Amino acid sequence: MYKKLLVVVDDRAVTQSAIWQGIELARFHRADIFFFCVLPKNVFSNSDLLQVGETSPDEFERTAREHATRLLADASALAEGAGVFCHTATGIGADDAQCVSEAANHRHCDLIVVGTEGHNAVVRLLTGSIVSGLISIATVPVLVCRDTEATRGSGRRASVAIRAKYRRDERRERRERHAGEEND
């Protein structure tokens, strides 16, 4: 069903749940993953009265790109360890949700996977969560993952179901091979 998944990567703890859910889905559907990180915008202008730091806009962008590269490399290592083919990309835009939606459309993705802490709408608005905007804007389905207690983020029930599906597929393939050998 899914051929390409876009997984939104950032430095929140809940992102690990979204990454593992995306990896499990990609393994199940034999899909590719695009790990995508939205770069932060430098919201401080040179004319601010209080200087937050002596960081130039170029230095801010370089630091943000290095941080995003580390996050994407970690996610890629998890996917490759699970046998899932993946790509990485970064983007920047005036609206983070629009940026993610455009990246999914540009890469012809079938699903967007994003994590959420599950707070109420006011807290999500104040913390800058893109989930509500992404659900409204995206032209492809959006899977919203909450943080789980499980180490791999997909929860025990989902992991058991996925392993059972793999075993059924393997048994069916062995039967088909065996039937093909008998016919020869």
Tokens at 8, concatenated: 């939104």
Helix, strand, or coil here: 78? helix
Least confident of 17-26, 115-124, 139-148: 115-124
Q: What pLDDT digit, counting tens, does each position of 130-154 carry?
A: 888 888 899 999 999 887 654 444 4
With a cut of 60, say whether residue 84 has pLDDT above it.
Answer: yes
* 48 exposure class (CB count in 10 Å sphere: 0-12, 13-18, 19+): exposed
Residue 149 to residues 132, 143, 152: CA-CA distances in angstroms?
Answer: 24, 18, 9
Q: Give the global pTM.
A: 0.71
